[in-house]
Amino acid sequence: MLKKSLQDAMNSQIKHELYSAYFYLSMSAYFEANNLPGSARWMRLQAQEEQGHAMKFFDYIHDRGGQVVLQAIDQPPSDFKSPLDVFERTLAHEQKVTGLINSLYELAVNEKDFASQSFLQWFVDEQVEEEKNATQIVEMLRMIGDHKGNLLMLDHRLGERGE
């Protein structure tokens, strides 16, 4: 049986994961509107991945005999200054999510819930990958600067995600 403290924290994490999906979908819309279809695809796939993360928590809570209580999701931003701004926000967001996952893991340790620690280890590892990917894209965009041709090449590369 999942302890109430972990159940509540995981229900909150479902909200954060669904917000992440909404956040990335908003970014996808920005890229679509700015004729960067590769970046739009990358963000759309990121949104789908975040929905999957929410469902992992959803299923885990049920698997442990808990109750899922869905919470309201805030509206994400829709105005972005540039592709670099989008990916800098992506990196900052992933760093925030890392903190949330680490807090959940710490709670599982404090509660001596070994099953939850095992479950959460996947998310700990996933956040390393998420931050790495966002950091690499931010660094590439910084190198590109105002060179539109290079931006289009990067956009094409980002559009190959999942192929």
Query: Which domains are assigned to the chain?
Result: 4-159 (1.20.1260.10)
pLDDT digit string (tens) for 46-95? 999 999 999 999 999 999 999 999 999 999 999 999 999 999 999 999 99
Confidence (pLDDT) at 127 = 98
Q: Closest by alpha carbon to 104, among 117, 91, 92? A: 117
Q: What is the mean pLDDT of residues 99-127?
A: 98
Q: What is the mean pLDDT of residues 96-103?
A: 98
CB 103 within 8 A of CB 5: no
C-alpha neighbours within 13 Å on the C-beta side of residue 63: 10
Confidence (pLDDT) at 163 = 72
Is 90 exceeded by the pLDDT of residue 159? yes
Is 90 exceeded by the pLDDT of residue 8? yes
End-to-end CA distance of the chain, in Å? 40
Q: What percentage of the chain exceeds 70 in pLDDT?
A: 100
Give the Cβ contact number of residue 50 at 10 Å: 22
**Please, which pLDDT band fits residue 120 given cuts at 50, 70 and 90?**
very high
CB 61 within 8 A of CB 13: no
Is 80 exceeded by the pLDDT of residue 107? yes
CB 14 within 8 A of CB 69: no
Task: Give dist(CA 28, CA 137) in Å, integer.
Answer: 15
Task: Give dist(CA 158, CA 155) in Å, integer.
Answer: 5
Confidence (pLDDT) at 146 = 83
Amino acid type, 73 = I
Which of 69-74's residues contact partners 24+ apart within 8 Å by CB, and which partners? 69/11, 70/11, 70/14, 70/15, 71/11, 71/12, 71/14, 71/15, 72/15, 73/15, 73/18, 73/19, 73/22, 74/19
Q: Closest by alpha carbon to 72, among 11, 137, 30? A: 11
Q: What pTM value is reported for the model?
A: 0.95
